[in-house]
Amino acid sequence: MKKQLLKKVLFYVFLSMLFVACSEADEQTVYVSKGFWERAQNAASKGLNYNGDVYTFIKNEMDNNPAVFDAYQKSFDESYNNAANILETCAKRLDEAEAKIEAATDVDFESVQKVVNGYKPDAVVETNIGTCGYIDLGLPSGTLWATANLGIQQMSKVGNNFSEYLNLQKPVRPESPKLPEAINIREYIVRKSAEEIEGGCVEIPYKEFVATLEKVNYEAPSVENLDKLIWAIKDELLDNIENKAINFRDHQVFDYERRDAVKYVEEFNKAFNRYNFDILTHDFSYLLDLGTPYSWGTNFVMDDKSGSTTFSASEDWVTVLLGSNWSTPTKEQVEELLQYCELTNVSNDNFAKGGSITYESNNQLSTGKIQGYELKSKFNGKTLFIPGDYYYMINERVDAGKYYVLQKKIITVQDRNPQFRIRPVYKSK
């Protein structure tokens, strides 16, 4: 056994020149490179195998067979370039997925934010029948216009903030494996071989030397396992980057672009559409609500002969229902509103992209499109929306465009019970 081991050692000394000398006079000591001996002892203390200083062996083979190592270098380069191409493709696919996310979130918030920021009341005050909001358009008279028509159950509700309403987390872009530096196999093996033999030689008792090599199951590197040694170096240097790139492409990138990004876009669109719908049908439906049509003759004593009467605060529907600071607008106040606001005829389609709205009247559901007028202040840009024009019930066209206006505190009526809407005004006293 000892003779066979000695033959292996002497063969390795011949190939690698690590074992510098063996005393002919006394076979009880062996000269060996310091690095080799330290690595063998370290492996023996941990119960590990050690197959010698492979880089020095490989360097000798490389010097003797340069064409073989040209082929190895070519294989290294192919793996490296393939991994680089895969990761470059992955980056493009991730960019495309992110672009889809950005495209989905780059929606036109203008109409929705106009509702949230432009139409919401500046203040909400308590009235005899609940709360009512008003908007300060900066008019010279100081008149403040109600945000909704009279007779709506809730005249001051403020909508949600979209970012809080959405509450979705964007998917995290997976991090790509890092490419190592480009590899020159010759330079690497020469450098590693120099490290193996650095430190000179040490003289080791023969018995200790043999016992240590037995502990680590020492087997000198050979030409037969050269290919295996080279590919182990390749895995070490390239860190399996080609396999990592393929796995990254087939799993993380695929999941991100086909599952995470698509799911986020779908959820975002659902949330946006739901928010937009709620803005119209819930949070700001009162803006489009026509309110209650009022009949003067049912509440006030009219002069049957002249068809007119002097109008007092106690006879104003608005003052009676909302309080002393509220009133039906005068002709002068309406003219001021029209003079100092930009008037646009709009429908609820472009009001907040909500389509038709469902209304309930006389316990019957009906659908239709309300049109109205948007009045944007020339002073501060704030906006008032007054629903009007016509809207359609199931079988009937309803005139919703007429509002009561006071003319010098006199109401003149041709019909004892006309059904008109009222948009209140507010003045602090």
Question: How many Cα neighbours within 13 Å face the side chain of 63?
Answer: 10
Q: Which residue has the higher pLDDT, 122 or 6?
A: 122
Once rounded to an integer, what is the mean pLDDT over residues 210-215? 90
pLDDT classification of 4: cutoffs 50, 70, 90: very low
Q: What angle do CA 144, 146, 150 make, to 5 degrees?
A: 140
pLDDT attached to residue 363? 30
**pTM of this structure:** 0.51
Q: Which residue has the higher pLDDT, 264 or 386?
A: 264
pLDDT in tens, 292-309: 777 654 444 433 334 444
Q: Which residue has the higher pLDDT, 400 or 336?
A: 336
Q: How far is CA 91 from CA 49, 171, 188, 190, 296, in A?
A: 42, 16, 30, 35, 71
Average pLDDT over all residues of the chain: 75
Q: Comparing 150-154, 216-220, 372-376, 419-423, which segment has the lowest mean pLDDT?
A: 150-154
Q: Which residue has the higher pLDDT, 234 or 12?
A: 234
Question: How many Cα neighbours within 13 Å face the side chain of 303?
Answer: 10
Once rounded to an integer, what is the mean pLDDT over residues 167-180? 91
Question: How many Cα neighbours within 13 Å face the side chain of 230?
Answer: 22
Q: What angle do CA 342, 146, 327 make, to 5 degrees?
A: 115
pLDDT above 70 (res 189): yes
Q: Position of tokens 């659908």? A: 367
Once rounded to an integer, what is the mean pLDDT over residues 20-37? 68
pLDDT in tens, 374-401: 788 999 988 888 877 554 444 455 555 6
pLDDT classification of 65: cutoffs 50, 70, 90: confident
Cα dihedral sign, 209-214-220-221: negative
d(CA 268, CA 77): 44
Neighbours of 218 (CB within 10 A): 20
Residue percentage of the chain with pLDDT more than 90:
23
pLDDT attached to residue 316? 79
Residue closest to 317 by CA, chosen among 337, 301, 333, 295: 295
pLDDT in tens, 91-141: 999 999 999 999 988 876 666 655 555 667 888 888 888 888 899 999 999
Q: Which residue has the higher pLDDT, 287 or 268?
A: 268
Once rounded to an integer, what is the mean pLDDT over residues 225-242? 86
Q: Comparing 39-43, 63-67, 86-90, 388-392, which segment has the lowest mean pLDDT?
A: 388-392
Q: Of 20-24, 30-34, 243-247, where does the model show the most confidence?
A: 243-247
Q: Which residue has the higher pLDDT, 154 or 377?
A: 377
Q: Comparing 108-112, 257-261, 271-275, 314-318, which segment has the lowest mean pLDDT?
A: 108-112
Q: Position of tokens 């393939």? A: 82
Q: Of 24-28, 30-34, 246-250, where does the model show the most confidence?
A: 246-250
Q: Which residue has the higher pLDDT, 269 or 314?
A: 269
pLDDT classification of 3: cutoffs 50, 70, 90: very low
Residue partners of 338: CB distance under 8 A and separation at least 6: 375
Once rounded to an integer, what is the mean pLDDT over residues 219-240? 85
Residue closest to 421 by CA, chosen among 335, 304, 295: 295
pLDDT above 90 (res 367): no
pLDDT above 90 (res 274): no
Amino acid found at 95: D
pLDDT attached to residue 362? 33
Cα dihedral sign, 33-35-41-46: negative
The three-state (H, E, C) secondary structure of 89-104, written as one string: HHHHHHHHHHHHHHHH
The three-state (H, E, C) secondary structure of 41-78, written as one string: HHHHHCCCCCCCCHHHHHHHHHHHCHHHHHHHHHHHHH
What is the DSSP secondary-structure string of 363-428?
Answer: TEEEEE--EEEEEEETTT--EEEEEESEEE-SS-EEE---B--BBTTEEE-SSSS--BB---EE--
Show the tokens assigned to 294.
Answer: 């009022």
pLDDT above 90 (res 243): yes
**How remote is the C-alpha of 422 from its chain's centroid?**
45
Q: Which residue has the higher pLDDT, 172 or 274?
A: 172
Q: Position of tokens 């704030």? A: 382
Is the distance from CB of 189 to CB of 55 less than 8 angstroms?
yes
DSSP assignment, residue 300?
Answer: S
pLDDT in tens, 405-428: 765 444 444 444 456 788 899 988
